[in-house]
Structure 1
Amino acid sequence: MSLDFAKFIKYSKPGPRYTSYPTALEFSDSFGYDEYIKKLENQDDSRPLSLYFHLPFCKNACYFCGCNVVFTSKEEKMLRYIEYLKRELQILSKHLNMKREVIQMHFGGGTPTFFSAEQLKVVIDEIKSYFPNFTDDAEISCEIDPRHIDEDQMRVMSEAGFNRVSFGIQDFNEKVQVAVHRVQPYNITKNAMDLARKYNMVSVNVDLIYGLPFQNLETFKETLELSLTLNPDRFAVFNYAHVPWLKKTMRKIDETTLPQPDEKLQIMQYTIDYLTSHGYKMVGMDHFAKPEDELFQAIEKGELHRNFQGYTTKGGADLIGVGLTSIGEGVDYYAQNHKDMKLYEEAIDAGKLPFERGVMLNEDDMIRQYVIMELMSNFKLDIKRFESEFNINFKEYFKDALEELQRFASEDLITIDDDKIACSQTGTLLIRNIAMPFDAYMHQHAGSKKTFSKTV
Structure 2
Amino acid sequence: MKVSNELLEKYNVQVPRYTSYPPANHFNDTFSGDDYTSLITASNLSDPNHIGFYIHIPFCKQICFYCGCNFIVMVNDDAVKKYIDAVKEEIRLTIKDIDKSRKVTQIHYGGGTPNAINSVFLKELNQLLFDNFEFIDNPEIAIECNPALLTWEYMDQLFDAGFNRFSFGIQDFDPDILRNVNRLPSALPVDELIQYVKKHDPKMSVNLDFIYGLPQQDAESFGETIKKAIAMRPDRIVTFSYAHVPWMKTHQRILEKKGLPNAEEKMEMFLTAYKLMKDGGYIPIGLDHYALPEDELAVALNDHKLHRNFQGYCTKRTTGQVYGFGVSSIGQLTEGYAQNTKDQFKYISQINKGILPVEKGYKVKAHEIIIREVINELMCNKYINWYKLGESLDISADKIKQTVGYNAEVLESFKADDLLSYDENEIHITELGTVFIRNIVAAFDPALKQSEKQYSKSL
What's the TM-score bracket when you normalise by the shorter of the two chains? over 0.9
Q: 2:352 & 2:253 partners in 1: Cα distance?
A: 35
For 1:360-398, what per-residue CA distance to the aligned partner results, in whole angstroms no more than 9, with x for missing partners? Answer: 111111110010111110111111112333224144444
Aligned residue for 2:277? Answer: 275
Aligned residue for 1:263? Answer: 265
For 1:166-188, what per-residue CA distance to the aligned partner results, in whole angstroms no more than 9, with x for missing partners? Answer: 01111112221111100305854
Task: Tell me if structure 1 keeps the 8 A contact 2:44–2:99.
Answer: no
Give the Å deviation of 1:342.
1.8
Give the Å deviation of 1:325.
1.0
Deviates more, 1:400-409 or 1:218-227: 400-409
Q: 1:247 & 1:375 partners in 2: Cα distance?
A: 30
Structure 1's 401 and 78: CA in aligned 2 closer, same or farther, altered over 3 A? Answer: farther
Give the Å deviation of 1:98.
4.0
Give the Å deviation of 1:6.
2.5
State the secondary structure of the residue aligned to 1:441.
helix
State the secondary structure of the residue aligned to 1:236.
strand
Give the Å deviation of 1:312.
0.2
Structure 1's 243 and 372: CA in aligned 2 closer, same or farther, altered over 3 A? Answer: same
2:54 to 36, 41, 52: 52
Alignment of 1:351-390 (within 5 A): 351-388=354-391, 389=393, 390=395
Q: 1:355 & 1:230 partners in 2: Cα distance?
A: 42
State the secondary structure of the residue aligned to 2:443.
helix
Structure 1's 175 and 98: CA in aligned 2 closer, same or farther, altered over 3 A? Answer: same
Aligned residue for 2:426? Answer: 420
For 1:24-59, what per-residue CA distance to the aligned partner results, in whole angstroms no more than 9, with x for missing partners? Answer: 011012333222212212332681111111111001
Letter in 2 for 1:26: H
Q: 2:187 & 2:340 partners in 1: Cα distance?
A: 36
Percent sequence identity over aligned pairs: 36
Q: Are positions 1:432 and 2:438 aligned together? A: yes
2:212 to 210, 213, 237: 210
Q: 1:382 & 1:19 partners in 2: Cα distance?
A: 21
Give the Å deviation of 1:157.
2.7
Deviates more, 1:278-287 or 1:349-358: 349-358
Alignment of 1:22-101 (within 5 A): 22-44=22-44, 47-101=49-103
State the secondary structure of the residue aligned to 1:443.
helix
Q: 1:231 & 1:399 partners in 2: Cα distance?
A: 43
State the secondary structure of the residue aligned to 2:232.
coil
Task: Tell me if structure 2 keeps the 8 A contact 1:120–1:156.
Answer: no
Alignment of 1:316-331 (within 5 A): 317-331=320-334
2:396 to 391, 401, 413: 391
State the secondary structure of the residue aligned to 1:364.
helix
Q: 1:417 & 1:177 partners in 2: Cα distance?
A: 47
Aligned residue for 1:336? Answer: 339
Runs of 5+ unmatched residues, structure 1: none
Structure 1's 53 and 74: CA in aligned 2 closer, same or farther, altered over 3 A? Answer: same
Q: 2:319 & 2:276 partners in 1: Cα distance?
A: 34
State the secondary structure of the residue aligned to 2:446.
coil
Aligned residue for 2:458? Answer: 455
Task: Tell me if structure 2 keeps the 8 A contact 1:306–1:373.
Answer: yes
Give the Å deviation of 1:23.
0.3
Give the Å deviation of 1:337.
1.1
Runs of 5+ unmatched residues, structure 2: none
Structure 1's 316 and 174: CA in aligned 2 closer, same or farther, altered over 3 A? Answer: closer
1:311 to 310, 313, 322: 313
Q: Are positions 1:182 and 2:183 aligned together? A: yes
Alignment of 1:48-197 (within 5 A): 48-129=50-131, 131-184=132-185, 187-197=188-198
Q: 2:98 & 2:261 partners in 1: Cα distance?
A: 48
Structure 1's 256 and 110: CA in aligned 2 closer, same or farther, altered over 3 A? Answer: closer
Letter in 2 for 1:203: S
Q: Are positions 1:445 and 2:451 aligned together? A: yes
Structure 1's 101 and 400: CA in aligned 2 closer, same or farther, altered over 3 A? Answer: closer
Aligned length: 452
State the secondary structure of the residue aligned to 1:254.
helix
Q: 1:39 & 1:214 partners in 2: Cα distance?
A: 46
Q: 1:183 & 1:165 partners in 2: Cα distance?
A: 18
Aligned residue for 1:12? Answer: 12
Deviates more, 1:272-281 or 1:196-205: 196-205
Give the Å deviation of 1:113.
0.8
Aligned residue for 2:222? Answer: 220
Give the Å deviation of 1:145.
0.6
State the secondary structure of the residue aligned to 2:387.
helix
For 1:134-158, what per-residue CA distance to the aligned partner results, in whole angstroms no more than 9, with x for missing partners? Answer: 2221111110110112233322332
Letter in 2 for 1:6: E
State the secondary structure of the residue aligned to 1:83.
helix
